[in-house]
Amino acid sequence: MPSRKGLRPLVVTRIRPESSDILSLELEHPGGEPLPPWEPGAHVDVQLITRQQRQYSLCGDPGDRFRYRIAVLREEPSRGASLYIHGHLREGRTVYVGEPRNLFPLLPAERYLLLAAGIGITPLLPMARELERRGAEWSLRYAVRGAERLPFRSELEELGDHITLHSRDHAPRLDLPALLAHPTLQPGLAVYVCGPARFTDAVEEAMREWPPGSLHLERFEPKAGIVRPNEPFSVVCARSEKTVEVPAELTMLKALEIAGVELPGSCLRGVCGACAVTVVAGHAEHRDSLTSDEASSTVYPCVSRSLTPELTIDL
C-alpha cells in the first residue's frame, strides 16, 4: 500500500467541469496555510482516500500560494483514479498531495512554440500565461477532438491570437510534419509539447533533424521501447555504504526498499521522476520516458537497470 510520507492533506474546495470529459479540482490547506511554490511545468503526486496515487500537472496560477488546481481526464479504460474522481470525489473531501516537482521547466529561448493535444494543455496553459506576462514571442497550437472536449475555453480565449485551435470544428487540421519542417528557418525556437503518446511520438518524429535542445517534452504515459531481458546486478549505495543485489524479477527500486534503503517512488513507470538518483560508477540501462541522452548520469530505479554487473549510485 502506498505510503503517505511526504504528502500533505488538502481539501477539495471546488470541482468544475471544464469539458465533456475533464474536471478541474481546486485544492487548499485545511487550515488556510500557504502551499509550497511552483513554476509552470510542475506537477504533483495526488493520493486519493482509496490509496490510488497519480501525477497531475498544476494548471492554475503560480502566484496563488493558497490554491492548487489540477485537471483530470475521464479515462476509459481507467486504472481507477480517474473513474473515482469523476464518479465519487466530492467537494470537502481530503486528498494527499506531494511537493511540486518540475521536470518540464520553461527555459530561456528567443521564441516559443507550445504544442498540446487533449489533457496535454494542463502544463502548457500556465506556460502560455507566463510567456504573455513576460512579453515573449510565443504561440500555442492545441488539438482537440471537438468543441465539446475543449477545456479552459475562457482562459484560452483571453490569450487571443496567440492560440490556434485544431479540431473537427476548427479547421485546419494540425499538420505536424509541415509545421515542424525546415528547422534551419526557425532559429532560436523552443518547442514545448504535451499530450497522448501518439501525439508526442509524432512531434518527436517530425523534429528528428532539429538542433539538440530544441524539443522539450512531457509524457503522461511511458514511452514504448524495446528492452533487453532482465539480468541480475548489484547496486552499490555510495553514501549509505550498502550493496544490494537486484534479481531479475525485481526492480532496482523494490530491491532497495526491501534492503531498507529509503527512496521515494510514485508512478513506478519511469514517468514522474520521483525516484531519480545519480549514477557515479557503472552504466545504467535507461528504460524511463524522461531521459533523452543515453549517457545521462540520472537514473530512475523504478524501471531502469544496469548494463554493467555493478552500478554505483549517490544514495
Distance of alpha carbon 298 from alpha carbon 290, whole angstroms: 10
pLDDT in tens, 125-177: 999 999 999 999 999 999 998 888 899 999 999 999 999 999 887 777 899 99
- How many CB atoms lie under 10 A from the CB of residue 67? 16
Burial 202-219 (b: 16+ CB within 10 A, else e): bbbebbeebeeebbbbbb
The residue out of 162, 193, 219 marking a domain boundary is: 219
Does a structural domain hold residue 3?
no
Q: Is the same domain home to 168 and 210?
A: yes
Q: Is the peptide bond before 123 cis (omega within 30 degrees of 0)?
A: no
CB-based contacts of 64, cutoff 8 Å, min separation 6: none
Distance of alpha carbon 279 from alpha carbon 299, whole angstroms: 7
Q: Which pLDDT belongs to residue 141?
A: 97
Q: Are the CB atoms for 144 and 196 separated by under 8 Å?
A: no
The residue out of 97, 121, 144 marking a domain boundary is: 97
User: How many domains, in total, are found in the chain?
Assistant: 3
What average pLDDT does the segment 19-42 reach? 97
- How many CB atoms lie under 10 A from the CB of residue 47? 20
Does a structural domain hold residue 275?
yes
Q: Is the same domain home to 124 and 62?
A: no
Q: Which pLDDT belongs to residue 147?
A: 82
| Greatest mean pLDDT among 27-36, 225-234, 269-278 | 27-36
Angle at 44 between CA 42 and CA 50, to 5 degrees: 160
Q: What is the domain-level CATH number for residue 65? A: 2.40.30.10
pLDDT band (50, 70, 90) for residue 272: confident
